[in-house]
Structure 1
Amino acid sequence: MSSCIHHFLVVFLVFVCFILDPVDAADGPAQKFLLSCGNQKGGADADGRKWEGDAKFLVKADRSREAKADMQDSSLPSEIPFMSARIFNAETSYKFAINGSNRHFLRLYFYPSSYPNVNISNSYFALNVGETTLLNNFSAALTATALSQAYIVKEYALAPSDLNDLTVTFKPSDKYSGSFAFVNGIEVIETPEMFDDNTGMVGFSGDSGVTIEATKASMETMYRLNVGGQFIPPTNDSAGLMRSWYDDTAYILGASSGVTNAANTTIDVGNGTAPLAVYSTARTMGPDPNVNKNYNLTWVFQVDANFTYLLRFHFCDYLDQKVNQRVFEIFINNQTALDTMDIIGLAGSAGSPMKKDFAILVKDNKGDNEIWVALHPNVSVKPEFYDAMLNGLEIFKLGDSKKNLAGPNPKISDMMQKQIDHNTKDFGSKKSYKSAIIGGAAGGAAAFGIAAGLIFVINNRKRKYPGQDSVSSWLPVYGHSHTASKSTMSGRSHGSTNISSDAACNCRYFSLAEIKQATKHFDESHVIGVGGFGKVYRGVVDGNMKVAIKRSNPSSEQGVNEFQTEIEMLSKLRHRHLVSLIGYCEEDNEMALVYDFMGKGTLREHLYKNNKITLTWKQRLEICIGAARGLHYLHTGAKYTIIHRDVKTTNILLDDKWVAKVSDFGLSKTGPNMNQGHVSTVVKGSFGYLDPEYFRRQQLTEKSDVYSFGVVLFEVLCARPALNPSLPKEQVSLADHALRSAKNGTLEDMIDPHLKGKISAECFKKYAETAEKCLADHGTDRPSMGDVLWNLEFALQLESNLENPKPASNKRSIDLTDHNSIMAMHRNTLSLGSEDIDGSEDSEVFSQIVNQKGR
């Protein structure tokens, strides 16, 4: 009997041990901690995720206090976790009980707004997890200001350890008197091991190969891109990891951005480490093998120097069916990472996701702290298609030998500081200035995680921040632009408009006296145009600066709304091909907008009727390309699409050097996210250019701008208005008449007589096909503005090759131009980090982009 009992107990104990075995426990739900810091009750965020209070996780809670933000920026996705904060005046830690043998994501949420009894610009602190330094002398306010973000999310992938607790320690800096640390939210998520034991270092091969043990490294997420696709919110990520995936457009070098496409076949994501949406879209080089052989599809990223970075490429070839159809080379910082990338060959089948990891050391080289990623067809293996393809890209910073991941704070340049000082000197009392800045100190007005080094600044002091002598200016993976808040500039508005403090700080305020002096008291001889908003005057400010001043007509229905929209939109945007807003005036019931003066007027003035100068075909192409670049930036340069809604030849202006700039944003709308697909709105626009699908359904998309631009393309080709009631009924609408003529093969009869016989057949065919596709009846059948831009660039190349035939070069384009010239081209094309560049050297470089010889 006792023997039976003994055997029963043994079996029972084995069963209990099996149930409680940690290996099996690890197969259960992943650990998750979501702390709303400084908030006792916690709450749910906009995605429905529940956050708890942080007090029970604190060690020595008496060294901290709870605080509530004074104002809620309109770009915050929800109150939780951003509106409450935990402020630390001494070293304090959070402690989490975890399974230390697994990797964990740590996300830290910072909203550097105004909090009671503290000055947020005095916050400098270090942050450590165990022996690993994540932040050192970190200023969330300075970072948000320099990068034009309302809030910051830092993400780290913490390596497994032997400890079963995670200690996150905040330590205020001892370099500055009165410094403190703060945090708004902490997220800890257990993850499967996502990295390999050995990842090869680029630049080392063969017997001397150097690898890193990524499984043992803690990392900071720098960039996470859905290449060729749209923004993917955390709630749509795979495996519950809550990662955000951003559009890659802002990081592409030059105008040769390739083409985007989407899968129309089933994809098995079983082997993938990214969500299905990443593998379902891609960016390729384009359909023309001769063009593809002479350029690289290139992305550029700014990073912190003297760190090793792991780059993860996500691939899924859903366009091909077998090996050796698409084979290409991968270059990282001008070094070959892989010379024969055959996705299907490495993945094993078509439509199968795969990843490829590489590591590279980035050293400080004269301040150019960058990672260049370039793809180029491998012509030596003679694939069926000379093309390259990429679906997704992640970049992680690895801790150094001292277990340090901390980089320097971004730098506020002297130019930015001068602009700050210039703006602040016009503000009223200190009280009004302070109230205005509260709403903008944390954020800016530029778009999403745009290219590195956005330079628009909102500062909450006329002095510079301490500790800003470093040079880092990369844009973190989690960057969210500040949008219009509802605060009104004290001492400015008279109750008619609500200009956000952010927008007000990014452009100059003019007094009514200054406006009257500039226009000679609105002298009629200074009128250069009239629109729905009111008259436009030429003027001079600051002694010799030529400007265009748009004065509101009090009887205009567009007045207040257009005035506010124009300021909010253009204060966020600086691009070579968008007209620059210098400032505004709102005083004594007068509203005026001040712009850069466009010496050559509107595009329409040079096309027909009393045209000042007859434009050559090449000039017209260059102008169309410039306008397309501006619209492409609007559609892709922010977290959400900006839809212009009134694209026409009178809203394309030309400066003294014939550079095209898109203008008039009074009707613009911020576009939808992926789940919506459109904006429901009252139909507005100009007849003749109006998208018929938008008119029918009252649903606005970026393809409505594409339709209007298609009308512009035909207007440029045919030199006739979009609507001409004096013509026979079937010819009144340019769009209808052009499409009918193209179908009948008589489009050449509509060409401007000044251009007859002066356009090459190949160029005309490509241009006409592009314009026709823009006018497709259904928006889904129209190309994106990026595709339109690519086709126009190609058309210009065809025209240039005919004028100046030149043997094709076998050298890669990345070797054709030195580094500095390529970066100048990048600045001119995207203009994401600086104002227009008008120097002769840069203008010459810009012409290299327009004239596509050898690219």
Structure 2
Amino acid sequence: MLLTKIRILLLFICLSSVSRSLHAAIGDQNSLFLACGSQNGGTDEDERKWESDTKYLVSGDKSVTTQPQSHDPSVPSVVPYINARFFHSESSYNLPVKNQSAHILLRLHFYPTTYPNLNVSNSYISVSAGKVTLLNNFSAFITAQAWSQNYIIKEYLLAPMDSPTLEIKIKPFGNSSLAFINGIEMITSPDLFYGPDPVMAGFNTDEEASDNGDNGVVSQQTISVKENNMELMYRVNVGGQYIPPKNDSGGLMRSWYEDTPYLYGGSAVGIAMSNNMTINYDALPSYVAPISVYESCRSMGFESNVNVNYNLTWVFNVDANFTYLVRFHWCDFIVDSTKINSLVFNVYINGQIAESQVDLVAMQHGKMAIPLVKDYVTHVDDKNGDDQLWIAVHPSGDNAALANAIVNGLEIFKINGGNTSLAGQNPTMSDLMKKYQDEQSKEEEAPRAFSDKDKSHSTTVIGTAAAGGVAAFGVAAVLVIVALKRKRRTMGAESCTTSWLPIYGSSKSHSSGTKSASGRSAGGGSTTISSDAASNCRYFSLAEIKQATKNFDESYVIGVGGFGKVYKGVIDGDTKVAIKRSNPSSQQGVNEFQTEIEMLSKLRHRHLVSLIGFCEENNEMVLVYDHMAHGTLREHLYKGNKTILSWKQRLEICIGAARGLHYLHTGAKYTIIHRDVKSTNILLNDKWVAKVSDFGLSKTGPNMNQGHVTTVVKGSFGYLDPEYFRRQQLTEKSDVYSYGVVLFEVLCARPALNPNLPKEQVSLADWALVCQRKGHLEDIIDPHLKGKINPECLKKFAETAEKCLADSGIDRPSMGDVLWNLEYALQLQENPDSVLSPSEATNQVDHDNADQNSLIAMHRSTLSLESENAYGNTDDVFSQIVNPTGR
């Protein structure tokens, strides 16, 4: 009996020791989450428990606690942004530090929205932590406005200190009488930089080395960073999806973002790849990065002759006159070899070589799927106006089995380098952004003036880019995109307080005030699905949806948008479907959910995505569509470039999309304006048939007698009709403008907006028009298409796209005209000798009837125009006889 007790005691001691070691490693022994201005704290969306900041506030007698007048649904969590503490003089917090030998991960949260009787636009803040200045003259309002962020998170890694408390001082800067903060996180961090000191990027030339007596040997200068304080600038899961804080490793609650906004090089952006091997951390501590980072990568691809001619490059905006640490995360799972020299490449930072002959197989000691990290440092100064970090990899080694290079993850930290300040300047708006914000300030703001639902976070790229410490410069590579997206401040804006309402319960009752399956009111009639719409599509139970997606397994995720995640799934045994699940924290989904069902349940067309059914149960809103095997059009142009589309394929896809849009404008009972036409909303099925998707923003009406619908501006910047933007008057010609951008996107294989290019080239629409009018369009088309387009076909295609982008809607063609011109261009490409020119064709018809429709009727015997009306009936010339001139 005594022996048994001793064994139990020893086991308890052993387990306690392991537990203490684990907690010391992951930082659980000293974590504070303070909801500033809150009396009771609360729990956030990542299940962190926040407490009131009151007992840690040392000198805050003159502080004021308040709540925002409205809460924007794009803010990721109610806590800590539902409360704020404002200061009119210097105040401080004393935070207990239990482990003085450990690093501290510190995050500061700011939500610069409208507060009662407090003007955050006049707030300039200084913050220090111990002896280091974190922020100086910092305007959360200007930063959020410049980066089009609703909230800002600043993240710091503080060196070990010799005090049992960390003093956080916050005060108004200069003449400002106002400072504020919404939340403070403090997490004890393990030593993330436990390895050797990182190497400074760059090396001496032979001449410089000789002058220094080095006989041409590369000089590798190292920088000690372990005792320095740092600010996180970027944390990127290269080639992978967004990783939320709750999925981070080591209890550090970090956010990892997609790399697509920072990629440079048009179509030369490599291939995003995922791993099916078991990742083994080996000697690398698991807290360095979550395993998801090492399960995906971006590779240059498997065409050696192509890879040797370009660099895989990312561009990040940073503060000048600081030193930066760049951490690479690598895990080789793509080279089926354990031989050294199988995968060798060079690493470049700001044009200087950081390391040559990086051999991942050698670094992994002949093993595969072993995570690795390597740190480099560089200095960015403003001597040449430099405020960017260019990071690139390029194949190296003539004997390598494959000319290739990969990256799995990137982290960029600003280092104080012995200085007492990490503070940078407030960001400034670009001229392009100022222009649009000046225009928008004259118009009525909406809760969500623009939609950006691209997989890459929009939500994921934009809305979340500030979270996890990317902060003011967290979305630098998408400055123009997000800055023009809209002033997301809610100053004087319409309050966005839509609640999470059930739309339709299993009782399938649609009357006002009926109860859903959950027993709650089904929206009081204001947000219910009509019985007509419900009868035209299938209702799924939540159990069926979970079975189809393996209980929403993350491995089934095939996309992320503003509405929520999209999962692949299987129903009825073998039917593949795409299942779009709304994110409950994005309350904007209610209206989009209803609009999508109301629209698509009544529309049937070969070139519109098919809605199979929906589910509303237990606060879930789910839409079920046909599975589109080849994904979005954009994926096959430049975003990953899965398949190089031939010019004929591209023309046929454009024609299909035009047919779908033409049907919306003229073929349905009422005019339907899509309002979010872009390459990510054109999907491709297994036969490469194009289908227009995503009708969450669509508008319809019984008539268009006024020629327009007056409505708040919504859409995606880069595709947005400038006339609609200025006047808030929506017409079907707004879709025509957006489609014109898509046409140039297809031709040039580049994004609608690319902020990494010179200012005059940022907007594809503007730049393509300049090149077209100067006769230089061939200089900017996709290199894969050079010499493969019939000149007359290219001329007709470019003229069509140019007309779509006319400044005034009245000068743009109808979608029927666009469709005819594209089909004519296809004929010019396939059989140019047998196609009559428009002038020749016109001479053969009566001049009184020589309009567009007569031409189409005479010269379309070989053109297949498969349109279906709302009831599924096929009419080969439908798009030409139903209101061909548009409305």
The TM-score bracket by the shorter chain reads 0.5 to 0.7
Summarize deviations over 1:316-372 as a string: whole Å, max 9, x none: 111223122211111111111111111121022101000011101011144341111
Change over 3 Å in CA distance of 1:714–1:123 after alignment to 2: same
Distance in 1 separating the partners of 2:30 and 2:477 = 24
Aligned pair partner of 2:228 in 217, 239, 259: 217
Distance verdict in 2 for CA 1:717–1:426, change over 3 Å: closer
AA aligned opposite 2:606: G
- SS of match in other structure, 2:29: coil
Separation in 1 of the partners of 2:428 and 2:54? 35
What is the rounded CA distance, in whole Å, between the counterparts of 2:657 and 2:70 in structure 1?
47
Alignment check: 8 A CA contact 2:28 2:187 kept: no
Could you tell me which amino acid in structure 2 is paired with residue 689 of structure 1?
H
Instruction: Report the number of matched residues.
Output: 563
Aligned to 2:810: none
State how 1:148-167 maps to structure 2 within 5 Å. 148-167=148-167
Question: Are residues 716 and 70 of structure 1, via their aligned partners in 2, closer, same or farther at CA, if it must alter by over 3 Å?
Answer: same
Give the equivalent residue in structure 2 for 1:266.
278
Contact 2:131 2:420 in 1 (8 A): yes
Give runs of aligned pairs for residues 531-550 of structure 1, distance below 5 A: none
**Structure 1 position 711, deviation (Å):** 13
Q: Give, as a single letter, the amino acid of the residue that structure 1 aligns with 2:782.
A: V
Q: Which residue, 362, 382, 385 being the options, matches 2:380?
A: 362
CA contact (8 A) 1:38 1:66 kept: yes
The amino acid of 1:101's aligned partner reads S
Any gaps of 5 or more consecutive residues in structure 1?
1-14, 428-435, 456-471, 491-497, 502-556, 562-634, 644-667, 725-769, 780-791, 801-821
Letter of the structure 1 residue corresponding to residue 251 of structure 2? G
| Partner residue in 1 for 2:169 | 169
Residue in structure 2 matched with residue 128 of structure 1 by the alignment = 128
Q: Deviations over 1:409-464 (max 9, x none)?
A: 0113455444444444466xxxxxxxx59x689x9979877799999xxxxxxxxx
Corresponding residue of 2:37 = 38
Aligned residue in 2 for 1:587 = none
Contact 1:314–1:355 (CA<8 Å) still a contact in 2? yes
How far off is 1:132 after superposition? 0.7
Q: Deviations over 1:155-182 (max 9, x none)?
A: 11111122221111102112x3x43111
Question: Partners in 2 of 1:333 and 1:488 — Cα distance?
Answer: 40
In the TM superposition, what is the alpha-carbon distance from 1:88 to its structure 2 partner?
A: 0.9
Secondary structure (helix, strand or coil) at the match of 1:215 reads coil
Residues 829 and 453 (structure 1 numbering): CA distance in 2 closer, same or farther, change over 3 Å? farther
Query: Contact 1:269 / 1:275 at 8 angstroms: preserved in 2?
Result: no
Given that 2:328 and 2:409 are in contact with CA atoms closer than 8 Å, whether structure 1 keeps it comes out as: yes
Q: Name which of 203, 207, 229 aligns with 2:240.
A: 229
On the 8 A contact 1:88/1:181 being kept in 2, the answer is yes
1:64: how far off? Answer: 1.4
2:189 maps to what in 1?
191
| Deviation at residue 78 of structure 1 after TM alignment | 2.2
Instruction: Deviation per CA, 1:598-627: give whole Å up to 9, x if none.
Output: xxxxxxxxxxxxxxxxxxxxxxxxxxxxxx
SS at match of 1:93: strand
**Counterpart for residue 851 of structure 1:** 783
Partner of 2:346: 329
- Counterpart AA for 1:129: A
Q: Secondary structure of the equivalent of 1:225?
A: strand
Amino acid in the other structure paired with 1:375: V
Q: CA deviation at 1:687?
A: 2.5
Aligned to 2:320: 305
Aligned position for 1:706 = 632
For 2:375, give the aligned amino acid: D
Which residue among 312, 318, 342 is the counterpart of 2:359?
Answer: 342
Question: What SS does structure 1 have at the residue aligned with 2:80?
Answer: helix
Q: Which residue of 1 aligns with 2:651?
A: 716
Alpha-carbon RMSD: 5.1
Tell me which residue corresponds to 1:74.
Answer: 73
* Residue of structure 2 in register with 1:408 after alignment: 425
Q: Distance in 2 between matches of 1:189 and 1:360?
A: 27
CA gap 1:334/1:499 in 2 versus in 1, 3 angstroms: same
2:38 and 2:169 map into 1 onto residues whose CA distance is: 19
1:278 maps to 293
Shift of residue 689, structure 1, vs aligned partner: 3.1
Cα deviation digits, residues 124-167 of structure 1 (max 9, x gap): 01111111111110000000001001101111111112222111
The aligned counterpart of 1:115 is: 115
Q: Map of 1:738-777 to 2, 5 A cutoff?
A: 774=688
**What's the CA shift for 1:796?**
9.6
What one-letter code is carried by the residue in structure 2 that aligns with 1:355? V
Counterpart amino acid of residue 183 in structure 2: G
Distance 2:320 2:333 in 1: 37
Q: Distance in 1 between matches of 2:110 and 2:782?
A: 42
CA shift, 1:255, in A, is 1.9
1:455-604 to structure 2, matched below 5 A, reads 475=475
The 8 Å contact of residues 311 and 394 in structure 2, kept in 1 or not, is answered as yes
Distance 1:454 1:228, change over 3 A: closer
Match of 1:89 in 2: 88
1:752-792 Cα deviation digits (max 9, x unpaired): xxxxxxxxxxxxxxxxxx99675799x9xxxxxxxxxxxx9
Distance 1:238 1:477 in 2: 27
Q: Residue 101 of structure 2 aligns with which residue?
A: 101
Letter in 1 for 2:182: N
Distance 1:256 1:165, change over 3 A: same
Contact 2:113 2:489 in 1 (8 A): no
Query: How many Å separate the matches in 2 of 1:122 and 1:268?
Result: 51
Give the TM-score normalised by structure 2.
Answer: 0.55
1:237–1:274 CA contact under 8 A, matched in 2: yes
Tell me the CA shift for residue 716 of structure 1: 2.8
* Structure 1 residues 228-247: aligned runs within 5 Å: 228-247=239-258
Q: Structure 1 residues 173, 350: closer, same or farther in 2, change over 3 A?
A: same
Distance across 2 between alignment mates of 1:406 and 1:715:
49
Quote the Cα distance in structure 2 between the aligned partners of 1:722 and 1:88.
55
Counterpart AA for 1:299 = W
Counterpart in the other structure of 1:617: none
Aligned twin of 1:287: 302
Distance 1:849 1:155, change over 3 A: farther
Q: Is the 8 A contact 1:68 1:83 kept in 2?
A: yes
Q: Does structure 2 conserve the Cα–Cα contact (< 8 Å) formed by 1:796 and 1:851?
A: no
Give me the whole-angstrom Cα distance separating, in 1, the residues matched to 2:607 and 2:761: 26
Letter in 2 for 1:102: A
- Structure 2: which 5+ runs fail to align? 1-12, 205-216, 464-471, 498-528, 534-557, 567-577, 615-622, 637-644, 660-683, 694-742, 787-887
Instruction: Answer whether contact 1:146 1:454 (CA < 8 A) is retained.
Output: no
Determine if contact 2:228/2:418 at 8 Å carries over to the other structure: no
Shift of 1:829: 8.1
CA distance in 2, matches of 1:404, 1:843: 52
Which position in structure 2 is the counterpart of 1:377? Answer: 395
Counterpart selection for 2:180 from 175, 182, 201? 182
Shift of 1:487: 8.9
Mapped to 2, the partners of 1:291 and 1:64 lie a distance apart of 61
Where 2:362 maps in the other structure, the secondary structure is: helix
Secondary structure at 1:261 match in 2: strand
Q: Is the 8 A contact 2:653 2:690 kept in 1?
A: no
Amino acid at match of 1:315: W
What code does the residue aligned with 1:163 have? S
Deviations 1:270-300 (A, max 9, x none): 5252111110111111121111111111111
- The answer on whether the counterparts of 2:631 and 2:685 sit within 8 Å (CA) in structure 1 is no
